[in-house]
């Protein structure tokens, strides 16, 4: 931990620097691969939707010593048609999921379970979802997503800069695509709780990005006047200065989410807590990555296209390009990348 503090300090002063903006093509390629895999998996495998989305019924019996086979046999005897999934959850629970049933069929299944395992009917946890319900909540989730993206874009454009808003949204879309892609690849169940998780990721990913952008804005405020560094250099320093902060906020955010995941998956076996925290856990990790490696480089690329910034880059290059970003400290670790000091040269050659 103490070493982390020390690293934070060296990153702040520019003594140690990871060249994140300059290597943007590398991060783009990595993300592009993941995004393509995600889209591919979504197109080919699709998502494994829970009964909340496709309609159906779920019955959970909680009694020690009951077996999946017994439960399946009991339910099959009622003669209901269609899909039947019987799973063991935790030590003593069996969950039976069926397709859409009529009230009469549903009652028949419950009675069969009551008779087979001699439990009270009140002790069977039941969830019945109508076939059109999924469409309704999917529609609402999509509306919510679109409204959120628009509102955030407007908000960021007003508090920061329009281009920061674009870069932030690109990062968020990236996060959601990859997170959903992981769900498609692994085949985790998607339930409404998962969707809550996805939507919350949006907020979180933006939170991280905002922290970085706030510093970028501060560092780039007067670069045109000073003419010492290009936009990319200043942005790169900002990213380096906030890396420790981003790492800390992400760890702090992951700790509670991790404990929900641990308790939800370990003690309850399945349900709201597990579904929600799994989506959050994956999304947070992806969100942290994008707030460092996707959003700032994308922003820098957008800004570097502005005539004023092109002119600035030329001016910096004309000064010899060796403008140290923070004081006259020499790079202690030249091996960690080319360092911000070398960037202007490369830009100048282009």
Partner 1 sequence: MSTPNKTVKSSGRPGRALAILALILVGLSATALLQGATSVRLGLDLRGGTSVTLQPRASNDANKVTSEAIDQAVSIIRQRVNSLGVAESEVTAQGSGTNRQIVISVPGDSGRRVVDLVGQTAELRFRQVLATAIGTAGTGTDAATPVAGVAADINAKFAALDCTNVANLQGTGADAPSETIVACDRTGASKFILAPAEVLGTQVSKAAAGIDTQAGNVWTVSLTFNGDGTKAFAALTNRVTSLASPQNQVAIVLDGLVVSAPSINEAIPSGNAQITGNFSQVEAQDLANVLKYGALPLAFDRGEVQQVSPTLGSDQLEAGLLAGALGMLLVFIFSVIYYRVLGFVTVASLLVAAGMLYLTFLVLGEAIGFTLTLAGIAGAIVAIGVTADSFIVYFERIRDEAREGRSLRSAVESGWVRARHTIIVADMISILAAVLLYFFAVGSVRGFAFTLGLTTLIDLLVVFIFTKPLMTLLAKIEFFSSGHPLSGLSAKSVGTKSPMTRAAATENVEG
Which residue's CB is nearer to partner 1, number 84 or number 326? 326
**Least distance from partner 1 to the Cβ atom of residue 5, Å:** 4
**Least distance from partner 1 to the Cβ atom of residue 75, Å:** 17
**Least distance from partner 1 to the Cβ atom of residue 99, Å:** 13
* Total Cβ atoms within 10 A of residue 81: 9
Radius of gyration (Cα) for the chain, nearest Å? 26
**Least distance from partner 1 to the Cβ atom of residue 144, Å:** 3
The Cα 268–Cα 274 span in angstroms is 8
The Cα 249–Cα 326 span in angstroms is 25
Burial class of residue 241 (count of CB atoms within 10 Å of its CB; 0-12, 13-18, 19+): buried
Which residue's CB is nearer to partner 1, number 170 or number 310? 170
N residues, the chain: 350
Q: What would the two tokens of residue 128 be?
A: 């019945």
Sequence-ordered list of residues with C-beta below 8 angstroms from that of 307, at least 6 positions apart, any chain? none
- Angle ∠(25,28,29) on CA atoms, nearest 5: 85
**Least distance from partner 1 to the Cβ atom of residue 62, Å:** 6
**Least distance from partner 1 to the Cβ atom of residue 216, Å:** 12
Which residue's CB is nearer to partner 1, number 256 or number 334? 256
Which among 258, 267, 261, 263 is positioned nearest to 89, based on CA atoms?
267
Question: Which secondary-structure segment (H or E) carries 58?
Answer: strand 56-62
Which among 135, 316, 109 is positioned nearest to 228, based on CA atoms?
316
205 touches 285 (CB < 8 A): no
**Least distance from partner 1 to the Cβ atom of residue 44, Å:** 29
Which residue's CB is nearer to partner 1, number 35 or number 326? 326
Which residue's CB is nearer to partner 1, number 5 or number 118? 5
39 touches 254 (CB < 8 A): no
């Amino acid at each position: 931990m103490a070493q982390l503090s020390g690293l934070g300090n060296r990153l702040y002063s520019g003594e140690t620097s990871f060249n994140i903006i300059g290597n943007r093509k590398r991060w783009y390629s990595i993300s592009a691969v993941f995004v393509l895999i995600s889209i591919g998996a979504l197109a080919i495998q699709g998502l494994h939707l829970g009964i909340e989305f496709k309609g159906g019924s779920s019955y959970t019996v909680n009694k020690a010593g009951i077996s999946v086979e017994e439960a399946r046999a009991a339910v099959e005897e009622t003669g209901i048609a269609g899909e039947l999934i019987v799973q063991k959850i935790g030590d003593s629970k069996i969950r039976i999921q069926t397709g859409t049933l009529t009230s009469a069929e549903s009652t028949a299944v419950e009675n069969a379970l009551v008779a087979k395992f001699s439990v009270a009917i009140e002790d069977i946890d039941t969830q019945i979802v109508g076939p059109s319900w999924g469409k309704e909540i999917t529609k609402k989730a999509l509306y919510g997503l679109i409204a959120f993206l628009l509102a955030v874009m407007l908000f960021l454009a007003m508090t920061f800069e329009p281009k920061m808003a674009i870069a932030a949204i690109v990062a968020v879309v990236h996060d959601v695509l990859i997170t959903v892609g992981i769900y498609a690849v692994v085949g985790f169940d998607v339930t409404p709780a998962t969707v809550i998780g996805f939507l919350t990721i949006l907020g979180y990913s933006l939170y991280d990005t905002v922290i970085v952008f706030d510093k970028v804005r501060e560092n780039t405020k007067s670069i045109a006047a000073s003419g010492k560094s290009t936009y990319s250099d200043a942005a790169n320093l900002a990213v380096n200065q906030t890396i420790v902060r981003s790492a800390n906020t992400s760890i702090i955010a992951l700790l509670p989410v991790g404990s929900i995941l641990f308790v939800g998956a370990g003690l309850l076996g399945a349900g709201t807590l597990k579904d929600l925290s799994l989506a959050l856990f994956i999304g947070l990790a992806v969100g942290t990555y994008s707030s460092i490696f996707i959003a700032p480089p994308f922003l820098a690329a957008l800004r570097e296209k502005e005539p004023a910034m092109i002119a600035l880059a030329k001016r910096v290059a004309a000064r010899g390009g060796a403008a140290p970003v923070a004081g006259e400290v020499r790079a202690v670790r030249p091996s960690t990348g080319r360092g911000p000091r070398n960037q202007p040269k490369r830009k100048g050659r282009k």
